[in-house]
Amino acid sequence: MDNYLVSARKYRPATFRSVVGQKSLTTTLKNAISANKLAHAYLFCGPRGVGKTTCARIFAKTINCLDPTSEGEACNRCESCVAMNEQRSFNIHELDAASNNSVDDIRSLIEQVRIPPQIGKYKVYIIDEVHMLSTAAFNAFLKTLEEPPHHAIFILATTEKHKVLPTILSRCQIYDFSRISLSDTVDHLRHVAEQENVQAEDEALNVIAQKADGGMRDALSIFDQVVSFTGGNITYKAVIENLNVLDYEYYFRLTENILSQDVVESWLTLNEVLSKGFDGQSFLTGLASHFRDLLLCKDQRTAQLFEVGSSIRDRYIQLAQLCETSFLYKAIEWVNDCDMKYRLSRNKRLLMDLLFVYLCQAVSPKESGDEKKIIKPITDNIADPNPVVVSEPKVSNQAYSSPRVAPSPAPQQQNNRAYADKGQADAPKTQTNKKSVSLGGIGISLSSLGQSKEEKTEEKELITGDERQPVTQQQLEVEWASCMKELDEEEVLLFQTMNQCVPVLLSASEFEVVVNNPGQKDRLEEKATGILSALRLKMKNFAIRMQVRVSENNEKKLAFTSDEKFRLMVEQNPELLRLKEKFNLDLD
Q: Mind listing the pLDDT tens digit for each residue in 148-199?
A: 888 999 999 999 999 999 999 999 999 999 998 888 899 999 999 998 888 8
Query: Per DSSP, which regions of 140-256 are E strands?
Result: 152-158, 173-176, 199-200, 233-234
Same domain, 127 and 187: no
CA–CA gap between residue 454 and residue 586 (Å, rounded): 56
Query: Would 578 be classed as within a structural domain?
Result: no
Per-residue b/e over 82-116, b at no fewer than 16 CB within 10 Å?
ebbeeeebebbbbbebeebbebebbeebbeebeee
Same domain, 356 and 493: no
DSSP lists the bridge partners of residue 546 as 511
Same domain, 360 and 474: no
Query: Would 430 be classed as within a structural domain?
Result: no
pLDDT at 2: 62
The pLDDT tens digits of the residues spanning 91-150 come to 888 888 888 888 888 888 888 888 888 777 889 999 999 999 888 988 888 888 888 888
Same domain, 230 and 134: no
Query: Would 380 be classed as within a structural domain?
Result: no
Same domain, 144 and 55: yes
CATH of the domain at 303: 1.20.272.10
- 247 in helix, strand or coil? coil
Query: Shortest CA distance to 517 belongs to which of 501, 495, 499?
Result: 501
Same domain, 265 and 146: no
CA–CA gap between residue 55 and residue 62 (Å, rounded): 10
pLDDT at 501: 85
Same domain, 192 and 100: no
Choose the final residue of a domain: 129, 152, 176.
176
CA–CA gap between residue 393 and residue 405 (Å, rounded): 9
Query: Would 237 be classed as within a structural domain?
Result: yes
**Contacting residues for 62 by C-beta, under 8 A, at least 6 apart:** 16, 30, 33, 68, 72, 73, 74
Question: Residue 429 burial by CB count (10 A; 0-12/13-18/19+): exposed, middle or buried?
Answer: exposed
CA–CA gap between residue 405 and residue 325 (Å, rounded): 52
Per-residue b/e over 346-358, b at no fewer than 16 CB within 10 Å?
eebeebbeebbee
Long-range contacts of 97-100 (CB under 8 A, 24+ apart): 97/127, 97/128, 97/129, 97/130, 97/131, 97/132, 97/133, 98/128, 98/129, 98/132
Same domain, 193 and 143: no
- Distance linking the first and last C-alpha atoms of the chain: 96
| Residue type (1 letter), 250 | Y
Long-range contacts of 413-422 (CB under 8 A, 24+ apart): 420/380
CATH of the domain at 201: 1.10.8.60
Cβ proximity of 457 and 465 under 8 Å:
no
The low-confidence residues of the chain, meaning pLDDT below 70, are 1-2, 364-460, 553-561, 564, 588
Distances (CA, A) of 286 to 290, 293, 309, 519: 6, 10, 17, 57
Choose the final residue of a domain: 123, 150, 176.
176
Residue 2: count of CB within 10 angstroms of its CB: 4
CA–CA gap between residue 187 and residue 191 (Å, rounded): 6
Query: Would 192 be classed as within a structural domain?
Result: yes
pTM, rounded to two decimals: 0.57
pLDDT at 460: 55
Same domain, 161 and 216: no
Same domain, 153 and 16: yes
Mind giving me the DSSP string for 180-195?
Answer: PPHHHHHHHHHHHHHH
Same domain, 140 and 203: no
Q: 89 lies in which domain range?
A: 7-176
Query: Would 568 be classed as within a structural domain?
Result: no
Cα 453 → chain centroid: 42
CA–CA gap between residue 80 and residue 74 (Å, rounded): 10
Tell me phi and psi for residue 321, to 5 degrees.
Answer: -70, -20
Domains in the chain, number: 4
Specify the pairing of strand 504-507 against strand 510-515: antiparallel
Query: Would 265 be classed as within a structural domain?
Result: yes
Choose the final residue of a domain: 176, 192, 221.
176
Per-residue b/e over 455-468, b at no fewer than 16 CB within 10 Å?
eeeeebeebebeee
CA–CA gap between residue 422 and residue 87 (Å, rounded): 92
CATH of the domain at 50: 3.40.50.300
| Residue type (1 letter), 282 | S
The CB-side HSE value for 140 (13 A sphere, CA atoms) comes to 16
CA–CA gap between residue 401 and residue 391 (Å, rounded): 18
pLDDT at 579: 84
Query: Would 378 be classed as within a structural domain?
Result: no
The C-alpha angle 369, 371, 376, rounded to 5 degrees, equals 150
Same domain, 364 and 302: yes
- 569 in helix, strand or coil? helix
pLDDT at 560: 55
